[in-house]
Amino acid sequence: MIILGIETSCDETAASVVKDGRIILSNIISSSAKIFEEYGGVVPEIASRKHVEYILPVIDRAIKEAGIKREDIDAIAVTYGPGLIGALLVGVTAAKALAASLNIPLIPVNHLKGHIAANYLTHKELKPPFVCLLISGGHTNILDIQGYDDIKILGGTRDDAVGEVYDKVGRVMGLVYPGGPKIDKLAKEGNPEAISFPRTKFRDNVFDFSFSGLKTAVINYIHSKEQKNEDYSKEDVAASFQKAVTDVLVDNVFETKSKKIVVAGGVAANKGLREALNKRAAKENTEVFYPDIHLCTDNAAMIASAAYYINKEDFDINADASPDM
Ligand code: KG4
Ligand code: ZN
């Protein structure tokens, strides 16, 4: 089964052709992230306009690079949410038009299910059940994945998402958007024990997270140094912040006692987190899976893969900024 996936939930315009949910025939991503560097974050209106500009050429290229003809496509998959509503609408509209013109099914995909499916593209034998640590720019959850489309939320952040905190801390440190990958790099050169930043744990749900206290502590540390005109080591701040984040993520996901943990979302690319999880996993005899680095952040291959397993067509879908899982 050949599925064309379309993804436009944030600042990546993406299209991809995937065979049988596991084999990537093409994976085209046109990112407008560079444009947002000077704004320090995504500007929704500009993101929507860029999607309008890129969507058709990106779809055409995905079909061409896959070496197929439009008539070979069996279904169209599209992200309908969560995401920026104007951005989502561009992808949904293009997907509807294409599915109607080819007279083939349209499969709406929840973006978060897409992030999980990035692992199916990387690990051909991987299948549920497993526990998923979903960490992206907008979400932070621990999920119990009983079946491909049978997902229970065990816990989540009560305030900021991990990626969001990385990007905010990055901005205060003067790093270009998105700050996540830059902090990850700086952290390698710093001392993770240099500064003691807070870790939050909830007694009423050990799978829940809170990162706003940590975010405020890091920002206060930097501001107070700047006010006193004192130098500080960006590497040490990055390493200490990253250690506080990874301690909490690792600790909470291992509370599930699952022997099979799958990591998903943009922050799954984080090197420090991978090291920390692998170390703990070795001690506790647990398997941990990550997507290939290039499949961690937003792409359409993961959407096409998720669609293969969801396989519920619905031509009447609408873009939805914050749908349920
Ligand atoms: O999943 P994603 O592409 O978009 C959303 O669905 O939100 O995730 C983007 C987020 C950004 O916040 C970015 O800073 C973060 O993932 N990110 C990282 C790393 N690579 C991307 N955060 C920490 N370390 C990284 N290496
Ligand atoms: Zn995403």
pLDDT in tens, the chain (325 residues): 999 999 999 999 999 999 999 999 999 999 999 999 989 899 999 999 999 999 999 999 999 999 999 999 999 999 999 999 999 999 999 999 999 999 999 999 999 999 999 999 999 999 999 999 999 999 999 999 999 999 999 999 999 999 999 999 999 999 999 999 999 999 999 999 999 999 999 999 999 999 999 999 999 999 999 999 999 999 999 999 999 999 999 999 999 999 999 999 999 999 999 999 999 999 999 999 999 999 999 999 999 999 999 989 999 999 999 999 8
The residue contributing the CA closest to ligand 1 atom 10 is: 137
Q: Write the burial class of residue 49 (CB in 10 Å: 0-12 exposed, 13-18 middle, 19+ buried).
A: middle
The pTM score is: 0.97
The CATH code that applies to domain 128-293 is: 3.30.420.40
Q: What is the pLDDT of residue 325?
A: 87
How far apart CA 17 and CA 115 sit, in angstroms, is 16
Tokens of 65: 């690079």
Q: How far is CA 277 from the centre of its chain?
A: 18
Superfamily of domain 2-116+296-310: ATPase, nucleotide binding domain (3.30.420.40)
Neighbours of 111 (CB within 10 A): 24
Q: Which residues surround ligand 1 with Cβ inside 6 Å?
A: 10, 115, 136-138, 163, 166-167, 178-181, 184, 265-267, 269-270, 297-298
Surrounding residues of ion ligand 2, Cβ less than 5 A: 136, 298
- Calpha distance 127→112 (Å, rounded): 17
pLDDT of residue 106: 98
The domain locations on the chain are 2-116+296-310, 128-293
What is the rounded end-to-end Cα distance, in angstroms, of the chain? 25
User: For residues 78, 83, 86 and 91, what is the CA-based torsion angle, rounded to 10 degrees?
Assistant: -10
Protein residue with its CA nearest to atom 23 in ligand 1: 180
Say if 2-116+296-310 and 128-293 have the same CATH topology: yes
